[in-house]
């Protein structure tokens, strides 16, 4: 956080029960357990704040529904340690319990979920899919606990267990019996539906809350689910807010994590229209906060349902699933014309991944059917059966760099030359492995998903209509 003052204050330590929910690999049930925990404690009247480790748009839908509170990302590279610490500390001021869902396996990635846990002293609750193991469960739990010295372990929860007898075998395999947090029995109701980019968003399912309640009911029968608030206090973590340069301001949940005063140019008085519906749903809550903290008014529209853009100075088309709704998007000629009129006035349009896909002339779905899209960019995008790109990326805009990631199943063919390219962390030389950034008039489009708080100045350059050069 950048300060408004040079007067120093003593950093405030705030204690709150907090735990990182991790696993030995993806697909073990981390999201279900995290959401079930959030729902269970929320039903009991506790204020729960949930965070997601790493870049992820879909799991937070479930956690938001379960907790009734916004879900933000924590990543030592993408969001940065200071941002992580500030968000955790602000959450601790208003919450009775903090849950953080890990990413992939506990030690996977650089930085990993284990790195995050160790940096902030978070105890790790491990979820293990035990459906095809018995004694090995204990070996796996022991290995995860002792692989890295200094990592605090809260215990292990067995998931997708076949029977009470099976649960007993798993429990007896642990070398340290106090690590046992119980077993969730195998139940199709507790499996959240998935598609090619991950979980189906909770907002798309009419029975999402019933699924969460069923998972919470199942968890309530386990050792973990029966823990009292005193038991949770054993996992309390002192989360200290330390400003990057000491700030003489009272830190409250509404305090911006960015300083708009020193930016020189803000988005004050501007309106940014953000596409938000089933086709465009990959939106970090912190990105919306960032736009608003920069002074912008944020309004939403649905490219699936609306025929005209709302009155606005700039448009953001985030990622999502345009390939699943290509026929409806193609048929919405009125909105297409409204977007063309917006660009004809040289008003900014920032399109990420699925947003960019919709701007090309043609989208070829996985079934091979071609759809005419909005035609603001020449060329076509084609869905692939395998992942085309995945990983952290950064985009330099002048002296400022936006951090984020890329994750997509489509490829694009266009006569447009790349105006810029993203790079991987630690890579200074721009190469073909980075995502292209295409520029056509006031349109900026890329597969790159940006984390706006990583560079508010770059965000101002993207959405400020008077900006003539973004490089």
List the catalytic residues. Answer: 353
Parallel, antiparallel, or unpaired: how do β-strands 97-101 and 12-22 relate?
A: parallel
Give me the helix-helix angle, 30-43 and 59-67, nearest 10°: 10
Contact between residue 31 and residue 62 where contact means Cβ atoms under 8 Å apart: yes
Contact between residue 385 and residue 371 where contact means Cβ atoms under 8 Å apart: no
Could you give phi then psi for residue 384, rounded to 5 degrees? -115, 160
Contact between residue 395 and residue 404 where contact means Cβ atoms under 8 Å apart: yes
Q: What distance in Å separates the CA atoms of residue 390 and residue 405, rounded to the nearest whole number?
A: 7
Number of Cβ atoms within 10 Å of the Cβ of 467: 13
Q: What angle do CA 228, 233, 237 make, to 5 degrees?
A: 150
Give me the helix-helix angle, 59-67 and 208-219, nearest 10°: 70
Number of Cβ atoms within 10 Å of the Cβ of 25: 12
Contact between residue 298 and residue 291 where contact means Cβ atoms under 8 Å apart: yes
CB < 8 Å & 24+ apart, contacts of 359-368: 359/317, 359/443, 359/445, 360/412, 360/414, 363/322, 363/323, 363/326, 363/330, 365/323, 365/326, 366/323
Q: Burial code of 190-207, b = ≥16 C-beta within 10 A, e = fewer?
A: bebeeeebebbbbeebee
Distances (CA, A) of 324 to 321, 327, 390: 6, 8, 20
125 bridge partner residues: 21, 155
| Percent of residues in the chain assigned helix, strand, coil, to nearest 5 | 30, 30, 40
The SS3 call for residue 249 is coil
Please identify which residue in the block is written with the tokens 């991790």: 22
């Amino acid at each position: 956080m950048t300060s408004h003052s040079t007067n120093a204050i003593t950093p405030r330590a705030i204690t709150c029960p907090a735990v990182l929910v991790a696993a030995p690999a993806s697909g073990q049930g981390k999201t279900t357990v995290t959401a079930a925990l959030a729902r269970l404690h929320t039903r009991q009247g506790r204020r729960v704040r949930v965070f997601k480790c790493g870049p992820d748009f879909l799991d937070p839908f479930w956690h938001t529904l379960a907790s009734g509170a916004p879900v933000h990302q924590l990543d030592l590279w993408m969001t940065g340690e200071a941002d992580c610490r500030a968000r955790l500390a602000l959450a601790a001021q208003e919450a009775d319990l903090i849950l953080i869902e890990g990413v992939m396996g506990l030690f996977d990635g650089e930085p990993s979920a284990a790195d995050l846990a160790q940096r902030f002293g978070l105890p790790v609750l491990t979820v293990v899919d035990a459906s095809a193991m018995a004694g090995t469960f204990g070996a796996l739990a022991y290995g995860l606990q002792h692989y890295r010295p200094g990592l605090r372990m809260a215990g292990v929860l067995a998931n997708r267990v076949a029977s009470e007898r099976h649960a007993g075998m798993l429990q007896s395999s642990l070398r340290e019996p106090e690590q046992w947090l119980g077993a969730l029995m195998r139940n199709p109701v507790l499996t959240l539906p998935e598609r090619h980019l991950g979980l189906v968003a909770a907002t798309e399912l009419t029975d999402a809350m019933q699924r969460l309640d069923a998972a919470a009911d199942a968890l309530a029968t386990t050792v973990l689910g029966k823990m009292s608030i005193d038991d949770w206090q054993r996992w309390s973590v002192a989360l200290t807010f330390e400003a990057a340069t000491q700030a003489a301001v009272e830190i409250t949940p509404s305090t911006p994590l960015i300083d708009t005063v020193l930016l020189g140019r803000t988005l004050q008085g501007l309106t940014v229209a953000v596409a938000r519906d089933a086709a465009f749903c990959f939106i970090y809550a912190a990105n919306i906060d960032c736009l608003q903290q920069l002074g912008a008014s944020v309004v939403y529209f649905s490219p699936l349902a609306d025929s005209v853009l709302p009155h606005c100075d700039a448009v953001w088309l985030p990622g999502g699933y345009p390939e699943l709704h290509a026929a409806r998007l193609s048929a919405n000629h009125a909105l297409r014309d409204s977007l063309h009129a917006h660009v004809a006035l040289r008003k900014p349009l920032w399109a990420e991944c699925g947003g960019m896909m919709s701007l090309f002339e043609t989208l070829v779905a996985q079934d091979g059917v071609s759809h005419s899209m909005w035609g603001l960019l020449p060329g076509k995008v084609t869905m692939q059966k395998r992942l085309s790109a995945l990983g952290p990326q950064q985009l330099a805009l002048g002296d400022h760099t936006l951090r984020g990631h890329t994750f997509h199943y489509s490829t694009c063919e266009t006569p447009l030359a790349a105006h810029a390219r993203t790079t991987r962390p630690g890579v200074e030389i721009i190469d073909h492995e980075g995502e292209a950034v295409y520029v056509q008039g006031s349109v900026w489009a890329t597969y790159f998903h940006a984390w706006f708080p990583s560079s508010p100045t770059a965000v101002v350059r993207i959405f400020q209509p008077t900006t003539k050069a973004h490089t």
